Amino acid sequence: MQNENKLDMLFQKLVDNTISKKELDCLTELINSSDLDIIKNEVWAKHWENVKNGNLPHKKRKNEDSKILLQKILFKIEDLENKKKVRNVAPYNNIKYWSAIAATLLLLAGIYFFNQKNTELPSTPVVIQHNPNSDAITLQLDNGTIETISENGKRKITTTNGNLIASQQGNSLQYTGTETQNKLVYNTLYVPYGRQFDLVLSDGTKVKLNSGSSIRYPVNFLAGEERKVFLNGEAFFDVAKDKTHPFIVNADQMNIRVLGTQFNLSYYPEDEDISTVLVEGAVLLYKEGADIRTNSASQLVPGQSAEWNKISNTMTIKEVDTDLYTAWVDGYLVFKAAPFYSIRTKLERHFNITIEDKSGRLENQIYTATFRNETIMEILEAFKEDTPFEFIKEGSKIIILNSNTN
């Protein structure tokens, strides 16, 4: 009974996403030593009902990511069993049961297992969750190891056999595409707020990542299969042409499919819209799981943007000035008839700061401006010329004061 109560408590913490690393290790130990029938029929049953109904206090990850995390838990259990020199083969029904709740355990466990440098773990793709408090560019390898990347550094990334798969030169990481593989092996690159970084994939596709973005991608694309990567944040893609291997970028609910083209994609989880702007070539946009041979896909031509609203589940396609959306690639901040609340979000990401408007006067003010090398203080001074206000800076936070400045 004591174990059941402890299991119940730890599963609840798992669901609430408040479980610590030590508690997560304890949970796997208890799962390993307990009767799985009791776990699934009694302890877990009540939590599982909430999971099935979507009553979870966090944003869902994709099902694919969930399956990966569950595998990690199961592999850890197996590792514990090996250390005990006990080899018990789980009945098929139990394995099937645990696979069925993958969307929960994998999702809820977070990235604890990936932070453990266990080289015996299988190569699986992982999404690094956005951490606005981190100022380091990081690379997560297929074995879960997380490495910090210096923007001025040089390094070579190799396989366990010593074969070169990528090399870094300053602010760019380039994959060689020379390592022969028969399965997909993923790396994940995370660029924090206040930084940008260049990535060249194994097929020659160039990706520029904007502040607060992460991309999961194969170390090598496989012959005969589509080239698919996963983006959180914003990136500009210059896709290498390959008619036999379509290039697909997944952004939450949307897939963007191309053969060879240039486009900008913005998907920050906190934003309502997933924005695609086509500069050159052609792209197809469709929801994850849709059949693109039907009329469920939308095609863009150069000079068009597509805004997919995640709340209303609708898409708007229109003609745009692509320079407004891609200026950041060349280091510019361009705002055209933009409300301050939109500008504020971009400034926060670009400078890794927070801006609090206590005056309540600026949020809906409209501005048109272009900046490149100005500091955040210089930018705010420029805005003051149009709408007078006072502000103070406290560390990485800027407070626009509630004053009656004329």
More confident residue, 18 or 406: 18
In-domain check, residue 127: no
pLDDT over threshold 60, residue 103: no
What is the distance between the alpha carbons of residues 195 and 395, in angstroms, rounded to a whole number?
18
pLDDT over threshold 90, residue 118: no
Confidence grade of residue 356 (pLDDT, cut at 50, 70, 90): very high
Residue 232, helix vs strand vs coil = strand
pLDDT attached to residue 104: 37
In the numeric block, which tokens belong to residue 185? 């092996």
Q: Which residues contact 16 (CB under 8 A, 6 or more apart)?
A: 57
> Do residues 232 and 224 lie in contact, with contact meaning Cβ atoms separated by under 8 Å?
no
What is this structure's pTM?
Answer: 0.67
The structural domain count of the chain equals 3
Same domain, 268 and 355: no
Same domain, 374 and 272: no
pLDDT attached to residue 211: 95
pLDDT attached to residue 397: 95
**Amino acid at site 305:** S
Q: For all residues of the chain together, what is the average pLDDT? A: 77
Residue 286, helix vs strand vs coil = strand
Same domain, 39 and 146: no
Could you tell me the residue range of the domain that residue 383 belongs to?
Answer: 332-400
**How many CB atoms are closer than 10 A to CB 272?**
11
More confident residue, 251 or 40: 251
pLDDT attached to residue 387: 87
Same domain, 161 and 217: yes
pLDDT in tens, 86-97: 333 333 344 444
Same domain, 387 and 294: no
pLDDT over threshold 80, residue 386: yes
> Do residues 346 and 336 lie in contact, with contact meaning Cβ atoms separated by under 8 Å?
no
**Which range, of 63-67, 137-141, 256-260, 303-307, averages the lowest pLDDT?**
63-67
What is the distance between the alpha carbons of residues 280 and 282, in angstroms, rounded to a whole number?
7
Same domain, 163 and 35: no
> Do residues 251 and 231 lie in contact, with contact meaning Cβ atoms separated by under 8 Å?
yes
Rounded to 5 degrees, what angle do the CA atoms 170, 237, 168 make? 20
Q: 266 - beta bridge partners?
A: 234, 275
In-domain check, residue 298: yes
In-domain check, residue 388: yes
What is the distance between the alpha carbons of residues 140 and 189, in angstroms, rounded to a whole number?
6
Task: Give the 3-state secondary structure of 113-127.
Answer: HHHCCCCCCCCCCCC
Same domain, 56 and 156: no
Question: What CATH number is attached to the domain comprising 261?
Answer: 2.60.120.1440
Long-range CB contacts for residues 94-99, cutoff 8 Å, separation at least 24: 94/36, 94/40, 97/36, 97/40, 98/70, 98/74, 99/67, 99/70
Domain stops at, among 294, 324, 354 = 324
pLDDT in tens, 180-199: 677 898 999 999 999 999 99
Domain stops at, among 263, 291, 324 = 324
Residue 173, helix vs strand vs coil = strand
Please classify residue 337 by burial: count the beta carbons closer than 10 Å to its beta carbon, then call 0-12 exposed, 13-18 middle and 19+ buried. Answer: exposed
